Amino acid sequence: MSRGLFGTDGVRGRANTYPMTAEMALRLGAAAGRYFRRDNNSAHRVVIGKDTRLSGYMLENALTAGLTSTGMNVLLLGPVPTPAVGFLTRSMRADVGIMISASHNPAEDNGIKFFGPDGFKLSDEAEDEIEAIVAGDIEPTQPRNIGRAKRIDDGRGRYVEYAKTTFPAGQRLDGLKIVIDCANGAAYRAAPEVLWELGADVIAIGVKPDGFNINAGVGSTHPEACAAAVLEHGAHLGISLDGDADRVAIIDEKGRLADGDQIMALMAARWAEQGRLRGDALVATVMSNLGLEHFLDRRGLRLERTKVGDRYVVERMREGGFNLGGEQSGHIVMTDYATTGDGLIAAMQFLSAMAESGQQASELATQFDPVPQLLKNVRYAAGADPLSAAAVQAVIADAESRLAGSGRVLIRKSGTEPLIRVMAEAENEVLLREVVDGIVAAVEKAA
């Protein structure tokens, strides 16, 4: 069936507009309850977390109504990072976990992500089955089997304590001044707590959510805020999370940015030296820089590429038995520690490298020289399909011909927004810009 509701990362859209309406959230909750409730006993439970968007209250209540109507007991965690939901789903023996968040999107958007009882995001097949249930008649449970709902006060505390255990025993952050930018999002309390309890001098920004300011000028999509704070306070490091804290950007003491590719390169090299990198491979998407691939090749390691989306990275990791993967955007997946991308725990791996090596952040943040890469986004109207236009296809074919043997072109639709992403890599930066600008112009004209 065609996927009408689910995208690359759950269901997402503008709040109070299809599919992010209370009515649809209620049906999604009921459908998920029907899908996961295997029998008629009363032990089935769901954990629900959310970020700090105002619309989270509406969607949380609607999901709860749908879930309890099919006999699921709901445990409400309040604002917690997305990886905390994956962790707590498994830790609390829940049948399903749900995170209400649109990640790095603006406050007007929201989304619903599902986790299975193992703490991993659902497969395409499971989402298709839930979508089919949504489209049909959902049978409610008998009155005596309606579920209950209650607030869980220690969800964040459980995650904080677990996150601290991922930092090497005996290591501390004493003497380090760290800026942590929480994007006014889900980690606004948890992330500063973890770093402070491990001994750091913490400067926290993006920790005053008001329901509307998530990702607004702060967070990993606006790392300049963290960089400015690092320079202002003379910090040793900046950590910039996104709205649901499943991605991270690292800022060195000079205010320079390290993206997910550089962080993964550091971790892959260190883990390989320590004999911890399973399969001698790193899993990343087609968006990761060719420089990362060359860096791994020189060390006898492999880069396994997937289509865009951290869920596809995780699927390949599980298939191949790999334990490290992620995306250039800063989703870093470490299955030794988490079932999904965890920005805070990834940052702590970087901090561990600093502590062990005695090197500054700037010495660790650039592991390879990236091949020049240019990415531009083109917004298009709902229902349009500019990539199918013959003129666009011709321009793309010409670009691929011009870059043959010296670079690559990647064109794709975003799975979360009505955007077409035009990306190319090439050593010749003049040619690179000509190629990307040509494709963008053709797509804009068709759109």
Please state whether 240 falls in left (phi above 0), alpha (psi between -120 and 50) or beta: beta
User: Is residue 242 annotated as involved in ligand binding?
Assistant: yes
User: Is residue 9 annotated as involved in ligand binding?
Assistant: no
Question: How far is residue 360's CA from residue 348's CA, in Å, rounded to a whole number?
Answer: 14
Question: How far is residue 177's CA from residue 192's CA, in Å, rounded to a whole number?
Answer: 12
What DSSP state is assigned to residue 74? E
Give the Å distances, CA to CA, from 23 to 118, 175, 439: 28, 51, 40
Reading across the β-sheet that carries 257-258, which strands appear in turn? 201-205, 177-181, 237-241, 248-251, 257-258
User: Is residue 336 annotated as involved in ligand binding?
Assistant: no
55, 69, 103, 240: the catalytic one is 103
Reading across the β-sheet that carries 324-326, which strands appear in turn? 302-306, 281-285, 324-326, 332-334
Q: Is 203 helix (H, G, I), strand (E, B) or coil?
A: strand
- Phi, psi (deg, nearest 5) at residue 309: 130, 125
Q: Which two tokens stand for residue 394?
A: 């011709």
What DSSP state is assigned to residue 41? S
Give the Å distances, CA to CA, from 101 to 49, 139, 166, 422: 9, 27, 25, 26
User: Is residue 103 annotated as involved in ligand binding?
Assistant: yes
Question: How far is residue 249's CA from residue 350's CA, in Å, rounded to a whole number?
Answer: 11
Q: Which two tokens stand for residue 265?
A: 């390169």
| 103 is annotated as an active-site residue | yes
207: exposed, middle or buried (Cβ count in 10 Å: 0-12, 13-18, 19+): middle
Contact 251, 237 (CB under 8 A): yes
Locate the DSSP E strands across 116-163: 149-151
Q: Residue 133: CB partners within 8 Å, gap ≥ 6?
A: 31, 34, 35
Q: How many CB atoms lie within 10 A of CB 296?
A: 23
For residue 359, which amino acid is it?
A: Q
Give the Å distances, CA to CA, from 413 to 64, 218, 380: 32, 25, 10
What DSSP state is assigned to residue 394? H
Contact 189, 204 (CB under 8 A): no
Which residue numbers are catalytic?
Answer: 103
Binding site, by residue number, is 103, 242, 244, 246
